[in-house]
Homo-oligomer: A and B are copies of this chain.
Amino acid sequence: MARADDLSGYLIAPDLGRNGLTRAVQGTDQDGVAQDLNVVEERPLTIYLNRREIVTAMTIGDYPEYLALGFLRNQGMLRDADDVTRVDYDEEVETVVVRTATETDYEDKLARKTRTSGCAVGTVFGDMMAGLEGLVLPDTQVRTSDLYALAHHINRTPSLYLEAGAIHGTVLCQGAQPLVYMEDVGRHNAVDKIAGWMLSERVSAGDKLLYTTGRLTSEMVIKTALMGIPVLASRSGFTAWGVEIARQIGLTLIGRMRGKRFVCLAGEERLVRDADLSLVADEDRAHRRKSAR
């Protein structure tokens, strides 16, 4: 069984010793007393797909290759069939270039689009939704005993969040085991890094669960489904459209997970309520994630 505060079973966990993810910043408190604070970094990363500049994302800076790959994949700009030949990160100029064997559909679509409206942003959401047609997510069961074990383990994992705050976390899990824990200043970047890792490592998705600290919006639901993951859980709330899309595509959506409480909003049929709730602790203050980030 996992010890509290350990990293048992993680393939990737937050790397608090890594240089450059946080910075010492001085401030003054309400009494005018100087405060030394450890604050998360935030830096631009420009993502290219072959010769085309796609986006500049604000990121904490770790795993730029996974972020770029996952972003392109989750935006529908990179399909399963696209053969990624190289991913080059240049730290100095803060760019990642993802190269494919042949020019992708997306580039062609973008070229056509730019002749009419001049900017690709508007197409992105439609492209994401289009990727969901015909998608069938597997019937993987979700045991509530696993859900509680995951939340307990994740909330006790040393993280930049616990150290510095102002950051979101997303964790790829299987059964009761958290596997890959990514953090980023952008809520979606953490998810995209996981998508990039899954793509690189050719990891199966149908037996996984995605846990996030962020809200369950339409975009988060769509990304999870595009990744092929049938279950999305969060300690935060949800939007009506997020719920509606989860129901349409048959994704299990679980929100407001705190201590023994949660709400299942879609895909109830995957849920196996096997936990003995009298044994599940209410959330204790020390490990409660801070409010409003």
The residue from B29, B58, B238, B275 contacting A217, defined by CB atoms under 8 A apart:
B58
Contact B122 A22 (CB under 8 A): no
Nearest 9 pairs between A and B by C-beta?
Answer: A166-B237, A42-B239, A291-B291, A165-B237, A53-B117, A23-B240, A27-B263, A42-B241, A119-B120
Q: Which of A33-41, A82-90, A198-206 contacts B (4 or more CB under 8 A)?
A: A33-41
How many Å lie between the Cα of A114 and that of B115 in the bound state? 9
A165 to chain B, nearest CB (A): 4
Residue A185 at the B interface, CB < 8 A? Answer: yes
Contact residues in B for A18 (Cβ distance below 8 Å)? none
Apart from A114-B118, A166-B215, list 13 A-B contacts with CB within 8 A. Answer: A29-B262, A39-B240, A44-B125, A52-B117, A52-B119, A54-B121, A165-B237, A166-B238, A214-B293, A234-B292, A237-B293, A258-B291, A290-B292
Asked if B125 and A240 sit within 8 Å, CB to CB, the answer is: no
Q: List 23 interface pairs A-B (beta carbons < 8 Å), by A numbering.
A: A27-B265, A28-B264, A30-B261, A30-B262, A31-B273, A41-B241, A42-B241, A43-B241, A52-B119, A53-B118, A55-B121, A56-B121, A110-B118, A119-B119, A119-B120, A120-B120, A121-B121, A166-B215, A213-B292, A234-B292, A236-B292, A290-B292, A292-B293
A241 to B234, CA, bound (A): 28
Neighbouring B residues of A215 by C-beta, 8 Å: 166, 185, 293
Residues of A within 8 A of B (CB): 22-23, 25, 27-32, 35, 37, 39-44, 46, 52-56, 58, 110-111, 114, 117-122, 124-125, 144, 164-166, 185, 213-219, 234-243, 255, 258, 260-265, 268, 273, 275, 277, 288-293
- Are B292 and A185 in contact, with the CB atoms below 8 A? no
Tell me if A240 and B22 are in contact (CB < 8 A): yes
B293/A53 in contact, CB under 8 A: no
Taking the closest CB of chain B, its distance from the CB of A285, in whole angstroms, is 11
Cβ of B39 and Cβ of A238 under 8 Å apart? Answer: yes
Contact B235 A292 (CB under 8 A): yes
Please, which residues of chain B bring their CB within 8 A of the CB of A41? 239-241
Contact pick for A121, options B31, B120, B185, CB 8 Å:
B120
